Amino acid sequence: MSLRAANLRIEQDGRLRRITLAAPEKRNVLDTALAQDFLREMAEAAEDQATGAILIEADGPMFCGGMDAASPPSPDVFSIGRRAAKPIVAAVKGAAVSAGVALIANAHVAIAAQGCTFGLIDIREGRWNEGVFQAVAAAIGQRRALELALTGRIFSTAEALAWGLVHMVAPAIELDDRATEIATALANANRDVVLAALK
Tell me the pLDDT tens digit for each residue of 139-197: 999 999 999 999 999 999 999 999 999 999 999 999 999 999 999 999 999 999 999 99
Rg (CA), the chain: 15
Global pTM value? 0.95
pLDDT band at 6 (very low <50, low <70, confident <90, very high): low
Structure confidence at residue 1 (pLDDT): 46
Q: Which CATH architecture has domain 2-198?
A: Alpha-Beta Complex (3.90)
Q: 3-state SS string over 42-79? A: HHHHHHCCCCCEEEEEECCCEEECCECCCCCCCHHHHH
